[in-house]
């Protein structure tokens, strides 16, 4: 019996970097299942990804924690009177490849001790880091890569590569890739609207790189 492929964990250098769009593209490219373990605020990212995926194979799994306020998960959970516990977050049962979307950046806190990236480690997932390019993003990206590499060296996770999203800046990309030593899996342009056709376009480009 063949072993299922490892999950892919979509994280980013910060909030609003494009994790949900990238999650939709990766889900479409692999006809994978999608899961967001911790959702803070509405609308649910699960609904957004589902609206952008065209294939009929992908399944969309319920959140382990669905929190009301659009805040850092630890703060949103406190308002809702709950405590996020990693040992209560379990992978959905599926024979399909699984795409897991994180919340915010890699060191966004889930509680007083655990961070978003600890979910990737818990599920032995391969990490895709999404970087949007803005003034300061080189620093934020390389710091995120350094932390991921530190954890990877300790055998806690592995890194699949980088995806650049919005406003391509060639000089920024070049220096990030030179120092990160990671492959660029995809470049996403700056689009006013995101449609299923746009997701399918990028999914076709990405498919052979996963």
Tokens 């030593």 belong to 181
Q: Does the pLDDT value for residue 34 go beyond 70?
A: yes
Strands 38-40, 65-67: parallel, antiparallel or unpaired by DSSP? parallel
Task: Tell me the pLDDT tens digit for each residue of 100-124.
Answer: 999 999 999 999 999 999 999 999 9
Mean pLDDT of 167-193: 93
Mean pLDDT of 144-155: 95
Catalytic, 36? Answer yes
Structural domains of the chain ordered from first start: 11-209 (3.40.50.300)
Q: Does the pLDDT value for residue 198 go beyond 70?
A: yes
Q: Does the pLDDT value for residue 96 go beyond 70?
A: yes
Q: Are 16 and 45 in contact (CB under 8 A)?
A: no
Report DSSP letters for 128-193, one per residue: EEEEE-STTHHHHHHHHHHHHHHHHHTTS-EEEEEEEESS--HHHHHHHHHHH---EEEEE---SS
| Per-residue model confidence (pLDDT) at position 1 | 37
Q: String of b and e for 93-124 (b: at least 16 CB within 10 Å)?
A: eeebbbbbbbbbbbebbbbeebbbbbbbbbbe
Mean pLDDT of 90-106: 96
Mean pLDDT of 147-173: 92
Which residue out of 36, 149, 156, 196 is catalytically annotated?
36
The pTM score is 0.96
* Percent of the chain residues past pLDDT 70, beyond the cut: 98
């Amino acid at each position: 019996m063949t072993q299922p492929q490892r999950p892919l964990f979509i994280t980013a250098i910060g909030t609003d970097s494009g994790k949900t769009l990238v999650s939709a593209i990766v889900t479409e490219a692999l006809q994978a299942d999608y899961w967001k373990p911790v959702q803070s605020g509405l609308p649910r990212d699960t609904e957004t990804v589902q609206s952008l995926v065209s294939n009929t194979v992908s399944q969309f799994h319920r959140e382990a924690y669905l929190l009301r306020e659009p805040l850092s998960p630890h703060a949103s959970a406190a308002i809702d009177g709950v405590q996020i516990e990693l040992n209560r977050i379990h992978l959905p049962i599926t024979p399909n490849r699984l795409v897991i979307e994180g919340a915010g950046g890699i060191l966004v806190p889930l509680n007083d001790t655990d961070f978003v990236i600890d979910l990737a480690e818990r599920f032995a997932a391969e990490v895709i880091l999404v970087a949007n390019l803005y003034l300061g993003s080189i620093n934020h990206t390389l710091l995120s890569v350094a932390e991921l590499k530190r954890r990877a060296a300790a055998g806690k996770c592995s890194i699949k590569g980088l995806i650049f999203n919005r406003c391509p800046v060639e000089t920024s990309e070049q220096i990030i890739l030179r120092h990160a030593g990671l492959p660029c899996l995809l470049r996403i342009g700056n689009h006013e609207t995101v449609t299923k056709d746009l997701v399918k376009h990028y999914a076709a480009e990405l498919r052979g790189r996963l």
